[in-house]
Amino acid sequence: MTSPVWHPFTQHGLGDPIPLISHAKDAKLYATDGNSWIDAISSWWVTTHGHAHPRIMAAIRDQSEKLDQLIFAGWTHEPAETLAAELVRITPAPLTRVFFSDSGSTSVEVALKMALGYWFNIGEARSRILVLEHSYHGDTIGTMSVGERGVYNRAWQPLLFDVDTIPFPHEGLEQTTLDALEAACLQKPAAFIVEPLILGAGGMLIYPAWVLAEMRAICARHGVLFIADEVMTGWGRTGTRFACDSAGVIPDIVCLSKGLTGGALPLAVTLCIEPIFAAHLSTDRAKTFYHSSSYTANPIACAAANANLEIWRDEPVQQRIDALADAQAAHLSLLSHDRRVQNPRRLGTIAALDIVVADSGYLSNLAPRLIAFYRDRGVLLRPLGNTLYVMPPYCTTPDELAQVWDAIGASLDILG
């Protein structure tokens, strides 16, 4: 019998096999039939310390015996309080408030609602959102609206709201981006949303820290709220705990998810500066921040996130990140002069390259071919069009990483 499961971003009509995974440990996924794979994209960029980290698993077990779920409107629990306090402590001082949700998309939706809620509640008519070209912020209606438009959201265009798009700061064109942002800010938009330093699903496009810092400064000059979507970049991927840290940038709103629980359970937060919270603080109930979902701040997920923060505090996470970043650089440099490779690039633990092929569009058959090739060699990779990237958990061993890059090298050969 065929499975009734309808998978995300999966064209079932191609008939590709769908591996049935029974368990996972560290950087590896295992199937009951004895097959195993190196999870070279951290199960969609969430798994940071590796699968089934004992400390996170223990926290989940402990919490599940105490409190499984609690309505979070007007009620609270210790794991959420601990987590919020710790997040405020480890992020820059102006970020004082933490709003919980359960996915990267919802953390961005919350950020957009906070920004518009702020201007609405202080009585200023600002509602336009500025976005960076090629961005991805999720697949809900609001997050698709502020993301790149393309074949993957064409059917839903009628539901999406208008935004103003700032050109991506390609090398040599940074000033064009900054000038466009400055001009757009003069129109008094509500907010500018960016993925700091690297655009993930848009093609692992990297831009310099000074551009991020300049973009932030322009927004500050014009009073435009600056939203950093650190859903992908957060929790060490780019080399520092948060990408904004390395650029010395303090956003007005920050979105975090994915590695927040070390990748074990769905959870997200949106942190904001005090004036945004204050604009919603009133005896007038109409000024309430009207947003929630049933599982907001689920206690078990919060306990997993607290364990993640303890791992960051007690284990040599930064050393693991540095070592992985160096190893990625070494592997990438070995392939960087290959005639079939273009734009080799790396930021922290994320390495990417573009494969030179005649048909490189998003719908070309390159990605499905490569995915199958890697799957047959015990590696989970999932190229974006002709962009291949490696984003493994920080516990990936040198041998495992070598196996991933060997598979990449071999895959270039099948392309001719």
The DSSP element (H or E) to which 353 belongs, if any, is strand 350-355
For the window 211-230, what string marks contact with ligand PLP as x by the rule CB under 6 A? ------------------x-
CA distance 39 to 37: 6
Ligand-binding site membership of 207 (annotated): no
Q: Looking at beta carbons only, is 250 or 267 nearer to ligand PLP? A: 267
Q: For the purposes of burial, counting CB atoms within 10 Å of the CB of 308, is it exposed (0-12), middle (13-18) or buried (19 or more)? A: buried
Ligand-binding site membership of 36 (annotated): no
Q: Strands 28-31, 21-25: parallel, antiparallel or unpaired by DSSP? A: antiparallel
Ligand-binding site membership of 188 (annotated): no
Q: Looking at beta carbons only, is 42 or 63 nearer to ligand PLP? A: 42
Ligand-binding site membership of 105 (annotated): yes
Among 63, 101, 103, 328, binds ligand PLP (CB under 6 A): 103
Q: For the purposes of burial, counting CB atoms within 10 Å of the CB of 21, is it exposed (0-12), middle (13-18) or buried (19 or more)? A: middle
Residue tagged 């005090």 (tokens): 274
Q: Are the C-beta atoms of 267 and 60 separated by less than 8 Å?
A: no
Among 50, 79, 104, 189, binds ligand PLP (CB under 6 A): 104
Q: Could you say which residues in the range 37-56 bind ligand PLP, by CB under 6 A?
A: 45
Q: Could you say which residues in the range 148-207 bind ligand PLP, by CB under 6 A?
A: 195, 200-201
Nearest approach, Cβ of residue 298 and ligand PLP (Å): 15
Q: Looking at beta carbons only, is 45 or 374 nearer to ligand PLP? A: 45
- 312 — phi, psi (to 5°)? -60, -35
Ligand-binding site membership of 229 (annotated): yes
> Which residues, other chains included, contact 145 with Cβ-Cβ below 8 Å and sequence gap of 6+?
129, 160, 161, 162, 163
Q: Looking at beta carbons only, is 229 or 245 nearer to ligand PLP? A: 229
Ligand-binding site membership of 364 (annotated): no
> Which residues, other chains included, contact 94 with Cβ-Cβ below 8 Å and sequence gap of 6+?
250, 252, 273, 274
Nearest approach, Cβ of residue 285 and ligand PLP (Å): 30
Q: Looking at beta carbons only, is 63 or 105 nearer to ligand PLP? A: 105
Q: Looking at beta carbons only, is 387 or 411 nearer to ligand PLP? A: 387
Q: Looking at beta carbons only, is 103 or 308 nearer to ligand PLP? A: 103
CA distance 213 to 229: 15
Tokens of 23: 């368990």
Q: How many CB atoms lie within 10 A of CB 246?
A: 18
Length of the chain: 416
Q: Could you say which residues in the range 236-275 bind ligand PLP, by CB under 6 A?
A: 257
137 binds ligand PLP (CB under 6 A): yes
Ligand-binding site membership of 3 (annotated): no
Tokens of 137: 């912020």
138 binds ligand PLP (CB under 6 A): yes
- 225 — phi, psi (to 5°)? -65, 135
The binding site comprises: 44, 104-105, 136, 229, 258, 292-294, 382
Q: Which residues bind ligand PLP (CB under 6 A)?
A: 45, 103-105, 108, 136-138, 195, 200-201, 229, 231-232, 257
